[in-house]
Amino acid sequence: MARRKYLLGFSPARVGEPITYMIVKEFDLMVNILRAEIDERGGRLLLEIEGKPHKITSGVKYLKEKGVEVKELNEYVSKEEERCTHCGMCVSICPADAFEMDKKTYKVHFKSDKCIACGLCLDACPPNAMKLRIW
Ligand code: SF4
Ligand code: SF4
């Protein structure tokens, strides 16, 4: 089982359709709505989706085919380099190994492609260098 977070963007034409219900039913996924900002003019849903990885992939493909804008949440996690003190705190807590300490320079590098947007580093980073900007 895998768990991923996505930000979905709905156009006004898609608002009335039971699209999220369909991905639960058709792809055997569990969906948790973390945040919603949507009305008849369209809007956004922040979802946590849990299920078999290939089913999540199929569900996301279905959403895109239906005209929903889908972005994985890790695309919104970033590191403000000027704030980072390279303390290494995030290296030890990140469950996805998304940080690497350069053994020569002792600089910490963020690998966003590995991030699963769990949010742990956002709370743990002493100078607040890790950011999640979605809304
Ligand atoms: S916890 Fe924050 S300050 Fe420390 S290395 Fe990570 S991003 Fe940089
Ligand atoms: S949000 Fe979670 S997975 Fe992503 S870098 Fe921070 S600790 Fe790692």
- Contact of 20 with 13, CB cutoff 8 Å: no
- Contact of 29 with 23, CB cutoff 8 Å: yes
Kindly give the distance from the C-alpha atom of residue 1 to the centroid of ligand 2, in angstroms, as a whole number: 19
The domains of the chain are located at 2-67, 76-132
Which option is the CATH number for 76-132: 3.40.50.1370, 3.40.640.10, 3.40.50.300, 3.30.70.20? 3.30.70.20
Residue with the bigger pLDDT between 97 and 21: it is 97
Which residues lie below 8 Å from residue 109, measured CB to CB, with a gap of 6+?
A: 99, 100, 101, 102
| Per-residue model confidence (pLDDT) at position 19 | 84
Residue with the bigger pLDDT between 58 and 13: it is 58
Kindly give the distance from the C-alpha atom of residue 73 to the centroid of ligand 1, in angstroms, as a whole number: 20
| Per-residue model confidence (pLDDT) at position 135 | 60
And the tokens for 122?
């956002």
Establish whether residue 67 lines the binding site of ligand 1, counting it when its CB lies within 6 angstroms of any ligand atom. Answer: no
Q: What pLDDT digit, counting tens, does each position of 53-103 carry?
A: 999 999 999 999 999 999 988 888 999 999 999 999 999 999 999 999 999
Mean pLDDT of the chain: 92
Alpha-carbon torsion, ordered 2, 64, 9, 26, to 10 deg: -60
- The ligand 1 atom nearest the CA atom of 108: 5
pTM exceeds 0.85 for this model = no
Kindly give the distance from the C-alpha atom of residue 118 to the centroid of ligand 1, in angstroms, as a whole number: 16
Q: Is the pLDDT of residue 38 over 70?
A: yes
Give me the helix-helix angle, 53-65 and 19-27, nearest 10°: 150
| Per-residue model confidence (pLDDT) at position 75 | 84
Establish whether residue 56 lines the binding site of ligand 2, counting it when its CB lies within 6 angstroms of any ligand atom. Answer: no
Rg of the Cα atoms in the chain: 17
CATH fold of 2-67: Alpha-Beta Plaits (3.30.70)
Q: How many residues does the chain have?
A: 135
